[in-house]
């Protein structure tokens, strides 16, 4: 091989090598560097957010203590019991006592599913059906609302069972509604 051919072969190899480097290796390396810089930027943003959250931890801890204090202050206004069955029994007992005091007949009570929870409290619900005169029925509902435990009612339905009877017979109202109350579940491990 002549020296001129040798130089041409080396120059051609160098050009081919530079072409491969210019079209394959350099762009891949550039992309890798660019993606690394973008990943580092995202990491720095996450780190800044985490530092901000850690800085707010003391404020959140104080807020948690305030919420716990408010829940403790609610204790006399929530149902007794630390589980849904106990709270439902307490709710049924309150409804039964109010019905007896107002001289309305408690036809049935049916527990309802209620998965609502708020600030460490859970809610139970009971569908109630009673029969009584208008005064007794209204006093019964009022007694539930005025009790020491906070109860809410909804879905009220009243039907006069003997509306066409003579005026000498007291009108009987068949009333159905849902009554709901809150309780504080026992924490696990206690």
Is the pTM for the entire model greater than 0.95?
no
Q: What dotted CATH number matches 79-183? A: 3.30.70.60
pLDDT at 168: 60
Q: Tens digits of per-residue pLDDT, 9-64?
A: 888 888 888 888 788 877 888 888 888 888 889 888 988 888 888 777 777 777 77
CB contact at 8 A, 71 and 184: yes
pLDDT, the chain, mean = 81
**Distance (Å, whole) CA 144 – CA 93:** 11
pLDDT for 169? 60
| CA 74 to chain centroid | 19
Question: Which residues fall within 8 angstroms of residue 151, CB to CB, at 6 or more apart?
Answer: 91, 94, 144, 145, 179, 180, 181
At 111-147, the pLDDT tens digits run 888 878 777 778 888 999 999 888 888 888 888 888 7
Q: Please state, in angstroms and rounded to a whole number, the distance separating the CA atoms of residues 187 and 80.
A: 15
């Amino acid at each position: 091989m002549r020296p001129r051919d040798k130089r041409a072969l080396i120059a051609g190899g160098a050009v081919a090598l530079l072409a491969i480097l210019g079209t394959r290796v350099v762009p891949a390396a550039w992309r890798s560097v660019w993606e690394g810089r973008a990943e580092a930027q995202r990491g720095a943003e996450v780190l800044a957010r985490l530092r901000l959250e850690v800085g707010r931890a003391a404020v959140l801890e104080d807020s948690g203590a305030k919420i716990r204090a408010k829940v403790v202050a609610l204790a006399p206004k929530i149902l007794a019991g630390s589980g849904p069955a106990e709270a439902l029994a307490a709710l049924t007992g309150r409804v039964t006592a109010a019905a007896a005091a107002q001289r309305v007949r408690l036809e049935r009570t049916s527990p309802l599913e209620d998965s609502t929870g708020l600030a460490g409290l859970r809610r139970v619900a009971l569908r109630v059906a009673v029969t009584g005169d208008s005064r007794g029925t209204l006093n019964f509902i009022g007694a539930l609302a005025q009790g020491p435990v906070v109860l809410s009612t909804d879905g009220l339905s009243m039907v006069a069972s003997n509306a066409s009877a003579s005026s000498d017979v007291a009108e009987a109202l068949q009333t159905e509604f849902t009554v709901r109350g809150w309780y504080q579940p026992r924490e696990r491990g206690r």
